[in-house]
């Protein structure tokens, strides 16, 4: 029977799924309302990854989050990768599909990182064209995620929020707001994170990400934050989440933890904190 | 001033190059430390993908050697897809030519075994035939039968003891290593790829089946000393036969 609740992300906490947590998640999900997977990890032909995903998708709404499409790339989208993505999204029929405002492939070489792009008229057109192509191929609306930035381009002549608004206006895509990325970029590039949230089109946000960052220093001894997804969400990022939810209302809220992945109770505590933040949002 | 993705990529892969011009910190000044974040992210994420892919090689050569080797590999063999689970498929050929690995002649074949195990893990699913199916065939029908094998089955032949090396690095209380040539059959009964030590005759028989030869022909390829019953029993128990016609 088609269960519509499995095909919409609820305004509840979700978590980036790691196979080592399979038993914990299925045995005692607690306030966990949905799961996010990285698309590329489920592009094999079969075996345990796909069997687990099939099982989980019968119990949780699934968000498919791509990390390899290279939407900001100068070259054309890899047609083979788009075909694999279309196959995955086709059989899984997930509650959401999202990708990054970034590039990762150059000259058919995949660099396995989310690399930055300048913000100007030429790059708006490139990104919008690629999003059109993805949405047409998948037959669904996608969400585009704001990046974490370590540097800016001299050739940029638009703010990131204006860039995202223009992409939304041209393509009809939605947005994935990563508040940790906002905090990381704001610290690294010297703007106020609250000002970024004020300028962000919150009505377009279909999902919010929260993750941990590391602290380093740049050449001048200024703080340089690294988006590592390897620890708890920092307190000022929780505060920025509260600031955001006060303005946006409740949203699906994801805890991301991708490196040095801890035992389930550590993630469960983060999920409980996210649930608390959502409960504090006025209805 | 525009920074092309070609220049950005070249800068990431070559730490001796200055960061491309036109990249600024928060105060609008040229920055190189911030570009190093991307350099580091790319090198570390690709190296970690190789560590995950080759746990036995990693144990054999140690962290320092492995990371130095990975740094050379990733700069000459960037992934050609975003499917990190298959990254490292050129490692056997690379290790054959990598000067610091020349004294470790078995490494390329261990890499081939690790690739076979990983391919098996992600291979397509197929329903095995039931265990009693062979018993229902008359002897002539059995010899004429063509057997389809699971997409998760792999064979790795080596002139080195790759099965023993794999065991002694991945299993507690593994038997002592014997210096000899070893062939490995990889099966995947459900989800976990399982290596088995097999003889040359076993490997020849399975290869003949994979090429579409009838069972009788495959037996003749295997030659003297081949134990048909034992091998068919292993393949059946491991769910490695998917069709008999």
Confirm if A147 and A99 have CB atoms less than 8 A apart.
no
Residue B110, pLDDT above cutoff 70:
yes
pLDDT > 90: percent of chain A? 95
- Distance from the Cα of B185 to chain A's closest Cα (Å) equals 18
> Which of A27, A31, A28 lies closest to A12 in space, CA to CA?
A31
Chain B residues whose CB is inside 8 A of the A40 CB are 82-85
Rounded Cα gap, residues B87 and B67, in angstroms = 15
> Is the CB of B42 less than 8 angstroms away from the CB of A106?
no
Sign of CA dihedral A163, A169, A173, A175: positive
Chain B residues whose CB is inside 8 A of the A45 CB are 122-125, 151
Return phi, psi of residue A229, to 5°.
50, 40
Chain B residues whose CB is inside 8 A of the A91 CB are none
- Distance from the Cα of A52 to chain B's closest Cα (Å) equals 10
Residues A7-63: tens digit of each pLDDT:
899 999 999 999 999 999 999 899 999 999 999 999 999 999 999 999 999 999 999
Calculate mean pLDDT across residues A246-273.
Answer: 97
Residues A151-200: tens digit of each pLDDT:
999 999 999 999 999 999 999 999 999 999 999 999 999 999 999 999 99
Confirm if A115 and A151 have CB atoms less than 8 A apart.
no
> Is the CB of A48 less than 8 angstroms away from the CB of B191?
yes
Contact residues for A195 (Cβ-Cβ < 8 A; gap 6+): none
- Distance from the Cα of A138 to chain B's closest Cα (Å) equals 18
> Is the CB of B37 less than 8 angstroms away from the CB of A78?
no
Measured torsion, CA atoms of residues A84, B77, A47, A104, in degrees rounded to the nearest 10: -40
Chain B residues whose CB is inside 8 A of the A67 CB are 82
Contact residues for B60 (Cβ-Cβ < 8 A; gap 6+): B104, B107, B110, B165, B169
Categorize the per-residue pLDDT at A220 as very low, low, confident or very high, splitting at 50, 70 and 90.
Answer: confident
- Please state the length of chain A: 283
Token output for B125: 């699913």
> Which of A68, A181, A200, A178 lies closest to A134 in space, CA to CA?
A68
Rounded Cα gap, residues A21 and A187, in angstroms = 33
Chain A residues whose CB is inside 8 A of the B77 CB are none
How many Cβ atoms are within 10 Å of A247's Cβ, its own excluded?
11
pLDDT value of position B1: 75
Measured torsion, CA atoms of residues B9, A164, A204, A78, in degrees rounded to the nearest 10: -40
Confirm if B122 and B109 have CB atoms less than 8 A apart.
no
The number of C-beta contacts closer than 8 angstroms across A and B is 145
Alpha helices in chain B, H assignment, sequence order: 5-13, 33-53, 55-61, 63-76, 91-97, 107-122, 139-144, 162-170, 200-210, 215-222, 228-237
Q: Which residue in A110, A113, A189 is closest to B26 by CB distance?
A: A189
> Is the CB of B22 less than 8 angstroms away from the CB of A155?
yes
- Distance from the Cα of B80 to chain A's closest Cα (Å) equals 5
Partners of A16 in beta bridges = A36
**Average pLDDT score over chain B:** 96
In chain B, which residue's Cα lies nearest the Cα of A153?
B23
pLDDT value of position A1: 46
**What pTM, to 2 d.p., does this model score?**
0.96
Residues B135-184: tens digit of each pLDDT:
888 989 999 999 999 999 999 999 999 999 999 999 999 999 999 999 99
Q: Which residue in B3, B82, B123 is closest to A81 by CB distance?
A: B82
In chain B, which residue's Cα lies nearest the Cα of A104?
B82
Confirm if A113 and B45 have CB atoms less than 8 A apart.
yes
Contact residues for B41 (Cβ-Cβ < 8 A; gap 6+): A113
- β-pairing verdict for A152-153 and B23-24: antiparallel
Measured torsion, CA atoms of residues B237, B238, B242, B243, in degrees rounded to the nearest 10: -30
- Distance from the Cα of B26 to chain A's closest Cα (Å) equals 4
Measured torsion, CA atoms of residues A119, A125, A127, A130, in degrees rounded to the nearest 10: -170
- β-pairing verdict for B241-244 and B147-149: antiparallel
pLDDT value of position A161: 98
Calculate mean pLDDT across residues B91-97.
Answer: 98
> Is the CB of B35 less than 8 angstroms away from the CB of A151?
yes
Interface test with A, best of B26, B39, B86, B193 (most A CBs within 10 A): B26
pLDDT value of position A140: 97
CA–CA–CA angle A100, A106, A83 (5° rounding): 65
Categorize the per-residue pLDDT at A2 as very low, low, confident or very high, splitting at 50, 70 and 90.
Answer: low
> Is the CB of B34 less than 8 angstroms away from the CB of A151?
yes
Residues B48-89: tens digit of each pLDDT:
999 999 999 999 999 999 999 999 999 999 999 999 999 999
């Amino acid at each position: 029977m088609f269960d519509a609740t499995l095909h919409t992300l609820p305004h509840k906490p979700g978590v980036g799924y790691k196979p080592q947590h399979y038993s914990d998640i299925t045995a005692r999900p607690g306030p966990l309302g949905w799961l996010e997977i990285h698309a590329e990890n489920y592009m094999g032909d079969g075996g345990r990854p796909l069997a687990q995903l099939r099982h989980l998708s019968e119990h949780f709404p699934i968000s498919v989050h791509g990390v390899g499409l290279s939407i900001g790339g100068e070259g054309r989208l890899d047609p083979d990768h788009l075909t694999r993505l279309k196959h995955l999204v086709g059989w899984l029929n997930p509650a959401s599909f999202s990708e990054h405002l970034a590039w990762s492939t150059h000259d058919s070489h995949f660099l396995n990182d989310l690399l930055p792009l300048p913000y100007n008229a030429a790059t708006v057109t490139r990104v919008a064209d690629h999003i059109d192509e993805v949405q047409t191929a998948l037959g669904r609306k996608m969400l585009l995620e704001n990046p974490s930035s370590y540097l800016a381009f001299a050739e940029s002549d638009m703010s990131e929020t204006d860039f995202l608004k223009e992409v939304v206006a041209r393509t009809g895509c939605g947005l994935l707001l990563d508040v940790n990325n906002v905090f990381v970029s704001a610290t690294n590039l010297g703007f106020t994170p609250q000002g970024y949230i004020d300028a962000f089109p919150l009505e377009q946000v279909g999902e919010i990400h929260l993750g941990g960052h590391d602290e380093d220093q740049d050449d001048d001894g200024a703080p340089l934050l690294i988006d590592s997804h390897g620890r708890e969400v920092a307190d000022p990022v929780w505060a920025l989440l509260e600031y955001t939810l006060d303005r946006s209302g409740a949203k699906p809220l994801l805890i991301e933890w991708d490196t040095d992945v801890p035992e389930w109770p550590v993630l469960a505590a983060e999920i409980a904190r996210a649930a608390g933040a959502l409960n504090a949002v006025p209805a | 001033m525009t920074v092309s993705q070609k220049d950005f990529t070249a800068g990431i892969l070559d730490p001796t190059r200055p960061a491309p011009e036109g990249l600024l910190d928060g105060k609008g000044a040229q920055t190189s430390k911030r570009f190093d974040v991307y350099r580091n992210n790319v090198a570390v994420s690709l190296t970690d993908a190789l560590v995950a892919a080759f746990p036995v090689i990693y144990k054999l050569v140690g962290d320092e050697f492995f990371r130095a080797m990975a740094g050379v590999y990733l700069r000459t063999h960037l992934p050609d897809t975003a499917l990190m689970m298959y990254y490292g498929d050129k490692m056997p050929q690379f290790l054959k030519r990598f000067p610091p690995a020349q004294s470790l002649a078995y490494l390329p074949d261990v890499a081939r075994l690790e690739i076979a195990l990983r391919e098996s893990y992600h291979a397509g699913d197929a329903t095995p035939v039931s265990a009693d199916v062979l018993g229902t065939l008359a002897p002539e029908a059995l010899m004429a039968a063509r057997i389809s094998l699971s997409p998760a089955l792999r064979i790795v032949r080596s002139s080195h003891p790759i099965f023993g090396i794999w065991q002694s690095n991945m299993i507690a209380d593994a038997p002592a290593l014997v210096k000899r040539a070893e062939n490995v059959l990889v099966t995947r009964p459900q989800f976990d790829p399982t290596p088995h030590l097999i003889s040359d005759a076993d490997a020849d028989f399975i290869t003949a089946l994979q090429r579409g030869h009838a069972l009788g022909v495959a037996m003749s390829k295997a030659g003297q000393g081949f134990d048909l019953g034992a091998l068919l029993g292993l393949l059946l128990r491991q769910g490695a036969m998917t069709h008999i016609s």
